[in-house]
Chain A
Amino acid sequence: MSKKVGFLLVNKEYTLDGIRSTLGLAVENMYSYAYVMNNELTDLSDYHKENIEWVRDMEGEVYTTVDANVEKHGMVKISLEEIGKQLRDLEIIIPYGILRSDKS
């Protein structure tokens, strides 16, 4: 049975890797969603743009709380409260990447 999975991406250094992991679970027949929170992505390579498109093709989505990511990369805008509500319906929640600056 397909599970619903969400990646919470707060660390810019790990965001693109997290989107790739979102796609990885989508191709494993899961409903997979990425939430890019509080970090603005600079120019994306064609590879990463394709990853986002493929997530959508697999019935997932890449959401963001940051307006610049909506305007520059076509991500879907979402608020922190809306993320919380969506998380209640997910079976697996993955706060992805190390938040602390020392990475220990």
Chain B
Amino acid sequence: MKLLNVYRSEPNDDTKKLVEIVSEGRDCESFDLNVESPDYSALLDKVFSVDQTICWW
């Protein structure tokens, strides 16, 4: 099970806790959209390479 966590903003404590539980024992990657120029091409590649993507707030 490959999981991609995408962050729109800096994760708060609740988000960090949920990500920790959901990600436990799984092959996880993350992608931060909260940067000046996100590499959307790289994001697409990641989305198509995993089983599940969660786009957090």
Which of B8, B20, B56, B57 is close to A84, meaning CB atoms less than 8 Å apart? B20
Docked CA distance A1–B36 (Å): 40
Cβ contact within 8 Å between A37 and B54: no
Are A84 and B21 also in contact (CB < 8 A) when A10-B14, A38-B14, A99-B9 are? Answer: yes
B24 cross-chain contacts in A, Cβ below 8 A:
88
Which residues on A sit within 8 Å (CB–CB) of B42?
none
Chain B interface residue count: which class? 10 to 19
Question: Hey, what's the 0/1 contact readout for A4-23 against B, CB within 8 Å counting as 1?
Answer: 00001010000000000000
Name the A residues within 8 Å of B8 (CB-CB). Answer: 99
Closest 10 CB pairs of A and B: A84-B21, A99-B57, A93-B54, A84-B18, A87-B22, A95-B56, A95-B57, A80-B17, A88-B22, A100-B9
Question: A interface vs B, CB < 8 Å?
Answer: 8, 10, 37-38, 80-81, 83-85, 87-88, 91, 93, 95, 97-100
Contacts A83-B18, A87-B22 given; 7 further ones with Cβ under 8 A? A8-B18, A84-B18, A88-B22, A88-B24, A91-B52, A95-B54, A100-B57
Q: List 25 A-B contacts (CB under 8 A).
A: A38-B14, A80-B14, A80-B17, A80-B18, A81-B17, A84-B17, A84-B20, A84-B21, A84-B22, A87-B18, A87-B22, A88-B24, A91-B52, A93-B22, A93-B52, A93-B54, A95-B15, A95-B54, A95-B55, A95-B56, A95-B57, A97-B57, A99-B9, A99-B57, A100-B9
